[in-house]
Every structure is written in structure tokens, then in C-alpha cells.
Amino acid sequence: MLGQKIPTTRFFPSDYRKELDIIAARSATDLAPLMERQNRVSLLNLRIAYLMYTHGICGVYTRYLVDGERFGFRDVDQISMVPTKLSEDRFECPSCYSEVPMQNAATMTCPHCGGELTEGDFVPGEMGEVPQVTATVKTAKGQQVISIHGGLELRLPPWVSDQPDMPYLGLHNEVHKSQLLHTYGKRAEGIEGTGSAASASEGGSGTSCSGDYDRYARLLLNESTNIYYSAGNKNLATLKRYWLRPASFEMVKGEDTQGKKYSERLKEIFPTGAYLAMATDKLLDVRDESMDDHWELVHAHEGPGMYKPALGSSAISINKRINTLENFIMEWVEYSAAGQGTLINSAFLNVNALAGQSRVPGNIYGVKAPINMPLGNLVYESRPGQIASEVFGQSGRLEKKGETVTGAVPTISGGTEQSLKPTTYLADREQALGKMYGPWLHMRTAWANIMVKSIREWAKSEADDVAYTVHGQNGEYEGREILVDNLKGQIEAYPETNEAFPELWTQQSAIFLKLMEMSGNDPFIQEILGHTNNMAYGKAMLGLRELFIPREDDRTKQLIEIRQLLQGQPEVVDTPDGLSAIMPSIQIGKFEDNHQEHIQAVKEWAVSADGLKAKRDNQMGYQNVIAHGVAHEEFLRQKQRQLVQEAQAMAPQPVAGPGKPKAPPSPASA
């Protein structure tokens, strides 16, 4: 439920008075969808919800990663300074001081004055260094990467409650030795994986008393069998990465030969904090890196300490009882439902003979019964007992308890019993959603912080501007361009405050159908549902994406034309009557356009956020769009005037009666 919708994030300038901050906030709004697409945040959000339920905490690590295998390569020109002749060889006439090119000095006379030229008048061309493209190399592309890590991978100080108070943060996970060699080169040589005796202290074979038990737990979650050691992880090594705050350097005691404290030296080398990566006993990497620039912790609940209860922890006790009850029922079915078997007098029947004989229904078996003794006295068949009905009642009671402690009542997902009244359903659902509001608030706040950290890191690391394509509201393509320089300002991110709790598609569809039922008596709802901007949403709610909506194509065409018009400017032309008119760069379709729909689309765009932004930043493009809308209006007016004139011409003229003077001729007929 928590993972079904990505929380909406809004970006704001840190200082609304600074133009750089305002531009950065706008660019961040355009960059966020690209970053969400590249990292498949819908799946990441599901993983966060899963870890909140099972672990109670997860860490979100964001960083800019350069990897040609994952993100591709770009061609980069190599520019070098090349010696180049800046001017041609020539002669300089000593008489008129004019320059004579080499091709004009064959006769060694000046073509201007006829003076004689000598070798002493020769002037060589000037040389200089000019930048030129000398080679083209393939360079790996980079991308902002967001990854989610659970409690088994994190190393956190348990005594703190908030991330700013943590002196360190650790991340442990298993990677293949080949990856370490590919990333760190010679520094990773000699690292042993799980299969070596040297790595027993790292959890190699699991025989060491000081083994890394959390490593066992991590691998057990991933192994296809329940045996820790297998051929699949012989070459796995535990990569340990730590982020240290500058304050943690105070724990380093001592001074160097110049009398300066080691702690002060470390703060100079790592002013924002230290990042360390190691595997077994080898230090692979160390650099200056801030913990808060790359990490965001998400908790399921409020509470003291860093490791707070998980969402599913309250259901563990209920689950154990349900499992015990189900085991009891299955044991009764397997061992008691058929009774305890049939008991016979072994002196009366040959048990061994019966064991070797197949018994099928309808067969006749001969037995010698003792005289005057019923056969039933020698054979006893136990009858199965009935399981108490209270057992099944206990199962239902436990399920109700589980719904209560977890908040996962049927109405939270839109399903409920048919006998439930609508008012009770809504109240029950609101109560269930209220229990989920705390975790949802944590997720909303975390995603806002994750996005702003990712965008800041991208702006620091990315060198090239980025352009990408998105689907518009009505299915048309829209282009987005992000300039790296536009993200140099300071921005903040906040979760959308007026965002409703995530609802399932079935719930949204039910509300939409209810609105359609109410629209018969409410013109305002009719106007909302009948607007072409809501047609695509309506088709999605009805589940009929192939449904044709009248006028939808006209609006889509006009929105495409608006984007094209913004790239041009209007032109002032002279009309046949001697006046001037403003003509747009794209002419209207007089025959095929639904002019009223085009006019409405232009008017709505002009007062929208995009239109007001274009009016401020692209005045000529904005005027071009307005001129296009006016052209549609003028065409409609001309057509209306033409219809009026045709109607007047076809109307019968009044006939003058006897003794009545004829009406004077009109000026037009005169």
C-alpha cells in the first residue's frame, strides 16, 4: 500500500530574491522526472516499503556513477595546440611599402609602383599555436544512481535518533572479486573470497567463532538453498564502506613531527568528512566526502534510538499463533481424521497374510468365526473424533487481531464485506489510513531529501547539458532540456503538503464513476468531466484507453503547435486595405481545425504556469502563440459575418403596398 505511489516533491529557491536560486528550482523541477525514470523509483519505493515493514529502517544511498557498460559512451574531441602559419610569406616593397604576395613577385618587381624587389625585402609568414581537434575518444557516461539498503547492510550507532547526530555510517555488502578488481585495479589484488581459509574471519566457511554473522544472514536471504556455503559465493568478498564525520577525527590521538595534532591534520585533508572502502584487510579507497550529501535514512516509526520497530513487528506474535493453529489443524487432518486404525485379534486372523494381500472394495474375504461369537467382538475399528468448532473461531479472531494491530483492514485496499454500510466503510478506511499516516509521512519527507541531494550531486558531477522527451498530458511528446549551469543556485525540497494519501486505482475509478453519476444534475461537474484536458484521465479510470474522445486530437495538435510557436516570433504584414496585421509563424488550418477548441486551448495555456513563464522569459514566443489564437478567432468572425450576409441575401425582400411609397434604395445598391 505504501509503495503504490511515489510521493510528490516540490522544489523551492533557498532565497526567492536571488535569480540563480529561482532558476535552479525551475531546472530541478524539470530534472526530477528524468532522475525518477533513470532509477525506476517506483520499484525503489516498493523496496523502501518492504524494508520498513520487515526491518523498520532502510538507508538510501545516492551518488554520481560513471560507468560506460551501464550508461554508454560519448565521443569527446581531444583538442591540442598545433603550430600553424598565421600569415603567408610575402615581399615588402621598399619604395611604396606595400605587401606583395609570393605569386605576384615572380618578376621581382612591385606591381604597385614598379620598384625592384630584393631578397632582403622577403618577409616570412608568422607562426603561432592554434587549438585543433587532434583525436576523438570514447568517454564513459555518468548518471545519478539511487540504491536502497536494509538493516542487515547498515552499520549505525544505535544510541542516536537522528542522522545529524551520527558520528559514522557503515555499509557492508557482498560483491564478486571481479567487480573489485575492475573498480579498484591493483589495489584489489590479493583479496580472497568466501572459499579461502584466509578469509575465515570474514565468514569464509562459517567455522570461525568470530565470523561475520550478519554476512551469513545476508547470504541466506539470497541463497537458493538453506546452506550458507555453496559454489555460488566462493568468490564473494565483503565490501565495507564507512563515512566519518570530521568530529570523529577527535578520537585520533597524537601529534606529528611538527607538533600538529593528527585530528587537525585529518580535518584539513577531509574537511567535509572521510569515506573509506575496504575488503578483508585491504584499504581500497579513501577520499573527502560528506555523509549527509549521499545518505538519507528512512524509519517506519518514531521512537528512541536508531533501530526503531518495523511495521510488521506487531504482527509477529499474531503470525506465530496463526501458524500454531494451522499446524494443529493440519496434524488433525493427517493423523486423526482417519482414526487410530483397526485393531484385530491376532489369534483369529493372520496379520501377515493380510499385509500381503491387496484389499479393494467389492472383494469377498473368507474368515472362520468362532461358534456363538459375533465377528465384531474380534475386530475393533476406531472412529475419528470431531475437531472442536472453537478452533476455527479462534482462527477468525486472530485474523481480526492482525488487521487491528497492522491497520490492514479490508477497507484499506478498497475491498470489504457487502453488508458493510457506506458510512461505516468510509470511517473504517479513514481509521486504517490514519495508522499508515506516520510511515507515509516518513516516506514523503525522505523522498524530498533524496531528490534534492541527487540533483545537487548531479549538478556538481555532470559536465554536459541533458535533453529528454516526456509524454504530455494528452499523450503528445514534450521536450525537456536541463542546463547544468542553471543548477548552480541553492534549492530546497519539500513534500507536497496538500497531497492525499495514496489510493488504489480501484478507489480512484469508483470516485470517478460516482462523479459521472452525479454529473446529470450538476452542470459544474459536467464541465469538469467534459473538458478535453480530463479526457485522458477519464479513459484511464474507465480502463478504456482506446476509446475515441471527440476534440481530443484538436487539443493535442494545438499544444504541439504552441511548442513550435514558442520557438519563433510573429511577423507584421500589410493587409490589402492598407492596414498592418500581426501574423503568427504557423498558419491556422482553415479547413481541418476545430477553431473553437484551438482558441480554448490557447487561452488556457496563456494563463497557465507555463504560459506565464513564457510571457516573462520569452515574450516574442508568447506573442507568437497569442497571434495564432487571434488568427483562429478572426477566421471564426469572418465566417460568422459571411453566414449573416448569406442569410440576408436569401431573405425575401418586402414588397411596397398600394399607395405606399417605395423604400429608397440602400447605399450599397446605389
Question: Would the pLDDT of 124 be above 80?
Answer: yes
Residue 294 pLDDT: 94
Dihedral pair phi/psi, residue 649, rounded to 5°: -70, -35
> Would you say 279 and 239 are in contact if contact means Cβ atoms under 8 Å apart?
yes
Taking a C-beta distance cutoff of 8 angstroms, is the pair 9, 31 a contact? Answer: no
pLDDT of residue 417 exceeding 60, the answer is no
Q: What is the pLDDT of residue 502?
A: 59
pLDDT exceeds 60 at position 584: yes
pTM across the whole model:
0.66
Lowest mean pLDDT segment, chosen from 291-295, 376-380, 608-612: 376-380
pLDDT score of 250: 92
d(CA 468, CA 479): 6
HEC secondary structure over 63-80: EEEECHHHHCEEEEEEEE
What confidence tens digit (pLDDT) does each residue in 536-580 have?
677 777 766 677 777 778 888 888 889 889 989 998 887 777 777
pLDDT reading at 249 higher than 90: yes
pLDDT of residue 226: 53
% of residues, the chain, pLDDT over 70:
77
Mean pLDDT of 496-523: 69
Answer yes or no: is pLDDT of 107 > 90: no
pLDDT of residue 198: 38
Q: Is the pLDDT of residue 225 over 60?
A: no
State yes or no: pLDDT of 515 exceeds 50. yes
pLDDT of 166 strictly over 90:
yes
Instruction: Return the higher-pLDDT residue of 292 and 417.
Output: 292
| Predicted pLDDT of residue 469 | 77
Range with top average pLDDT, 35-49, 99-113, 194-208, 429-443 = 35-49
pLDDT, residue 61, reads: 96
Predicted pLDDT at 296: 94
Residues 6+ positions from 99 with CB-CB distance below 8 Å: 90, 91, 92, 93, 123
More confident residue, 402 or 26: 26
Contact 308, 319 (CB under 8 A): no
- Tell how strand 154-155 and strand 168-176 pair up: antiparallel
Q: 166 or 3: which carries more pLDDT confidence?
A: 166
Q: What is the pLDDT of residue 201?
A: 39
Q: Looking at residues 123-139, what average pLDDT do you find?
A: 84
Q: Which residues contact 205 (CB under 8 A, 6 or more apart)?
A: 194, 195, 197, 229
Chain segment 440-499, per-residue pLDDT in tens: 888 888 998 999 999 999 988 888 888 877 766 555 666 777 888 888 878 777 766 556
- Are 569 and 620 in contact by the 8 Å Cβ rule? The answer is yes
Q: Are the CB atoms for 338 and 384 separated by under 8 Å?
A: yes
| 590-623 residue pLDDT tens | 888 989 989 988 998 888 878 888 888 899 999 9
Interval 315-347: pLDDT, tens: 888 888 888 888 888 877 777 666 666 777 776
| pLDDT for 75 | 84
> Greater confidence, 606 or 281?
606
Provide, rounded to the nearest whole percent, the portion of the chain with pLDDT above 90: 19
Instruction: Assess whether pLDDT exceeds 60 at residue 414.
Output: no
- The pLDDT score that the predictor gives to residue 208 is 41
Angle between helices 619-650 and 552-565 in degrees, nearest 10: 130
CA distance 595 to 639: 11
